[in-house]
Structure 1
Amino acid sequence: MTNDKLKYIYPFLLLWVTILTSSAQPRVEARIDSIAIMIGQQAHLTIDVIAGKGAQVVFPQFKPSQYITQGVEVLESTDPVTTPMDNNQEKVSKTFTLTSFDEHLYPIPGMKVKVNGKTVVGNPLALKVVTVDVDTLHPNQFFPPKDVQDNPFKWSEWSPLFWLSMLLLLLCLVCYYLYVRLRENKPVITRIRIVKKVLPHQKALSSIEKIKSEQLQISEDQKTYYTKLTDTLRQYIDERFGFKAMEMTSAEIIDRLKETGDQKMIDELKSLFQTADLVKFAKYSTLINENDLNLVNAINFIDETKLEGEPTEEKVVPKLSEEDKRSKKERTTLKAAIYILGSVIVALLAYIVYHVYELTL
């Protein structure tokens, strides 16, 4: 009875040991995605290594353009990819890209892979490389080119260009409207003039020469003489010293001049203004020699205080009115808007033309 039981148990034990042994042994499986390719085409050879988890797997190394077998080149290879499996195993895969340029049936030997230091050989494969059939009987026979394919019209492809064209037309109308506005809005032209500048002392001496030519100093109308003489001095002082002498009294003018002038010269000018005030307001009568002396004192004062080396020309910049300023600002805004719209129109037109050309090819 015992022998009969053992006779049935032994096969099961043997099968179980065989399964354990086969599952523990690493396996190398090679496969190719295409067994036949045209000359120059590519095929992909994948090597799968099934081993226990954590096994050290070393694949064969091939450099680019190196032959895996005579006539079959390796173009490139991928990095190993690990995939977990059941029974505490994992699959490590690596793919090689192959090509060939000679017609032949090439045997690919089994790939040698080292697993935990031991060499395991995979299954062999074959790759058939075929060439293009050539009509050797009629080598000079040529076929005409194929007709152009008539692609169907798709509104989804043309609708963006249509709406962009509508936008382009609208922008052109706006740009034309702005151009018309710009033409109607006349430009504001301002010209800077260079005029000859009459210096204060020249102007004052010219006025005094006019007084002398009219001989007012010897006329009976002394009030007119002193009024013109003092007004000439006041105007000169205003332009020369920079304070409102025309609106000041004689005493105020003398006080301001004391800060800058010679005391003797100031005293002579003070005497002139006092005499003029007496003539104009107190009906004081002067002698002819006194009038001449005051005239000489006025000329001396101008000569002593005149500024030399001042520019004889000045630049006159006209001032714009508020309306001119608004008009100028509006023209600048219109020009900027036209330039921007013009740039957008050109870019949009180029975009539309390019894509229409692409669609019509």
Structure 2
Amino acid sequence: MGKQIIFLFALLGLLSPLSSLAQQSRVEVNAKADTDKIRIGEQVKLRLSATVEQPTGLTVVFPQVPDSLSHWEVVTRSKIDTAGDNNKKIFSQTLTITSFDSGHWDIPAFRFDVVQNAGGATDSAFTGPLGIDVGTITVDTTKAFKPIKAVRTVGWNFWDYWLYFAIGITVIIIGIGLFVYFRSKPKKEVVKPVVPLIAPYEAALQQLQHLRGEKIWQQGDVKQYYTRLTDILRAYFEQQFNIPALEQTSEELLQHIKPVTILNQQRDKLRSLLTVADLAKFAKLHPSPDEHEAAIQQAIEIVEWTKPAAAKAPETVKEEIKQP
């Protein structure tokens, strides 16, 4: 007898949180379908709702409906909506379901859990089951079967294909426009290389005479004087003998003139000229006035010696023949 009393008090202790939860608030759950009869494959809107009075401190947990129920498939499910105020709140969710089995099928009851946030006590509420008839298409078997209709030919309609015609015409117009444009576009004339009006040796001699007349070294600009003097010679070598003289050092230039026999004969004179010029340009050497004049005279003699034989004066040719 004593054990029974102890068990009774323990049971009352377990039920006391649920009793207090029920006293504090009133929860009403409901499941409602928008129809009780469909044909196979049609859809049913199933609305689950929970109405809670005095909802402060309570959490309503909606049932976790699987994707497949007995004879039913869940197509879509909405989010849980909330409406109401602190005295009364309504929670709702809409499920879209369908069935592909004919017959009368029940949608099972759904369980809602109500959790008290403070104490963690939980209570449950259940909806009632719903019965829905799933029917097939009615076929009148008393009537004779009709033959299969032949394929019908649909008349041609321009407006069914107007987009394809528009695209085709646009492509043709663009093609014709491009053809006319490229056909009438003026051809670029090939620019012929400009042939110097005067021979390279003549240009070099004119520039050397002009440099002499400017009297640059007399004005104290020795570096500029030798820079222009050697540039005139290097440009002459490039044009006359195809030697990349402007891009080479003095030693490289002296090495590249060896194959040119007529130019190699002036190699010692050219070396002396380039040595003085390099010292004046890079070592800040100040040659004497006689050395300035000798340098430009050597440059003139090199050009005169190396110019084409047809351009040399008869006296120069005779002097070359007399030389051993």
TM norm structure 2: 0.45
Structure number with higher relative contact order (C-alpha < 8 Å, ≥ 6 residues apart): 1
TM norm structure 1: 0.41
